[in-house]
Amino acid sequence: MNSSRPYLVRALYEWIVDNDCTPHLLVNVDYPGVQVPAGFASDGQIVLNVAPSAIRHLHMDNEAISFEGRFGGVAHSLNVPSAAVMAIYARENGQGMVFEIEPTPPDDDAPSESAAAGRTSEFEGGQVGERGARAYRAPKSVSRCIRTV
């Protein structure tokens, strides 16, 4: 069977937006294929505001999530493979879902074990950017309010 992660992310995104909340994605930036602006991640993670008012050209399919956002006033195209999404939640109340970390696919030049496997640290950055995709400190309530699948 296909992974349920992209289906759940799309459903929760719609549910969060329908309830007038701000959807945020917690992303493993070390996962292959992740394209986010350099310098905005902390401990291999970044939290992205993916509210419709903050981004443009959102596309979510079973392979990846892509959109355009602004960081520090500069537009960037972002691409997040579905397997790199660690959580989706509402900024206002922390409701959403945390996903198990998927092992990084083996790379010919990399050691056989993933550097990201087992990582549990929270994003420690602050707000960045102007009007657009922004990184936020993941609220401590995220671990209490959302369930792991």
**pLDDT computed for residue 137 by the predictor:** 42
Domain assignment of residue 83, given as a range: 5-105+120-148
pLDDT of residue 51 exceeding 80, the answer is: yes
Mean pLDDT calculated for residue range 86-115: 77
Q: Looking at the 3D structure of the chain, how many domains does it have? A: 1
- Please check whether residue 79 lies inside any domain of the structure: yes
pLDDT at 27: 97
DSSP 3-state assignment of 16?
helix
Is 63 part of any domain?
yes
A 10 A CB-CB count for 8 gives 17
- Inside any domain, residue 25: yes
41 belongs to a structural domain: yes
The answer as to whether 27 is a domain residue is yes
Query: Taking residues 16-30, what's their average pLDDT?
Result: 97
- Flag whether 126 is in a domain: yes
Domain of residue 129, CATH code:
2.30.30.220
| pTM of structure | 0.72
Q: Which residue has the tokens 């992310």?
A: 9
Q: For residues 20 and 144, which has the higher predicted lDDT (pLDDT)?
A: 20
pLDDT of residue 109: 54
pLDDT of the residue at 57: 97
Residues 51-72 have a mean pLDDT of 96
Work out the angle at residue 149's Cα, subtended by the Cα atoms of residues 140 and 59, and round it to the nearest 5 degrees. 85
**For 63-73, what is the mean pLDDT?**
95
Six token digits for residue 69: 């956002």
| Chain mean pLDDT for the chain | 79
**pLDDT on residue 102:** 76
Can you tell me the distance from the alpha carbon of 136 to that of 51, in angstroms, rounded to the nearest whole number? 13
Please indicate whether residue 140 or residue 2 has the higher confidence score (pLDDT).
2
